[in-house]
Structure 1
Amino acid sequence: MARILVVDDQHLIRSGIVTLLRTVDGLGPVVEAADGEEAVAAAREHRPELILMDIKMPRLSGLAAAERIFALGLEPAPRVVVLTTFDEDEFVYAALRAGCSGFLLKDMPPEQLLGAVRACLSADLLVAPARVRRLVEQHAVRPRRGGDEPQATRPPGTDPAGLLTGREIEVLGLVARGLPNEEIAEQMCVSESTVKTHLHRLMTKLSLRSRAQAVVYAYEAGIARVGGGPPRPAGPGA
């Protein structure tokens, strides 16, 4: 059973989510934290598989807390999903850029929340690929102002052409287009297991933590182009 950590400084929202999750058979223990500092301590102590994290909190924001949790090097690494409202796209983009797996709206119906939690426990991306691409088009090519908190750590890695094989760059470009592994395998005329191998290797080389972060990286590195333009040419590797 998966251990879940819920982090939100608003007691009513936090307790409501915790109470809801604790009523579901099959989910593991649910722990809670009231701010980012508590979240880091709770992650270190309880090693949750999934963290539902508010973005805007006192003392330490959800974005900063997520980065500290990733830096702990926990094994297995927890998946972090941010809790957000409809008007926080810039913060959501920064969270995906830092390695979070997706986001949930705080006002979603309980049954949708439960379905989303189950989906995140079984998949690596809890956000529609089209939404990721929309966020990228809004934020990836826009210059960031110095001092703005949404400046998350840039996805690690240098020029991908010097790190990735041509096949790995091709896979990353197709992931950025929102294609699932099955469709990528069909388009590349390889097995789905081969796609998974390429994806695992490229994410390891680039120190990427989630599929959503891989999408962001692909656009920021020029492998995928905003507006559907031609991708960056693949490197010389096979």
Structure 2
Amino acid sequence: GSDGIILKLLERIGVKTNPFIPSLIPLTVQEKNVVELAGVSLRNVGFSLLAGKRVLYHDIGEMLFTHNGVSGPLVLSASSMRTEQDMHCEIDLKPGLTEEQLETRILRDFSKYQNKDLNNGLTDLLIGRLIPFILERAQVSGDTKIHSVTKAERRALISAIKHLRFTISGTRPLAEAIISRGGVAVSEIDPSTMKLHAIENASVCGELIDVDAFTGGYNLQIAFSTGHLAGESI
């Protein structure tokens, strides 16, 4: 609910601050066809956020697709690690399997459904709405009969399942963020009292401080603990 004007007031009297920016927030992607997956929720998937080849964040857990990007616990935590560089994310739909193990699993399913087409032969492996999207990414026709799938097509499917990539275009608006990053620099604060060095008898706490954490109640704990300390130190 804040407009951030307090930071400008503090800066005028010499307190170092960093601008408020959204954190723990859904990410948007460039690929417009992500709308085809809007509402699809995934569990036990790997999610990586990268700047070039540098991994900014990686974990396994839950996420979901939105009409213009990705969200959910994994994505919210990853969003706090983003940079100004060009970024992309990679989703591993089967993080418990190596590519070789996944190929073995696919071959087993293919032997079971060898007379079906791919649209109907991957239902044991993937959520229904993911199948046409993965096939499109792999550039393999869903009408292809399983018994006629080539090794190259099979490898393309494995790559799409293990490395489902999207280019990050930005975040949702600040109003949709769970928390904001930025605020008074910690170097400006006495950590034993939460009082500002520059202003006598003035304390700061919670999101006014440039400290944030992943999801899981940690940001609430920061607010409770710093608020309690500031109050006890008056």
TM-score (ref. length: structure 2):
0.23
- Flag the structure with larger Rg: 2
Structure ranking higher in helix proportion: 1
Structure ranking higher in strand proportion: 2
Higher relative contact order (CA 8 A, sep 6+): 2
TM-score (ref. length: structure 1):
0.22
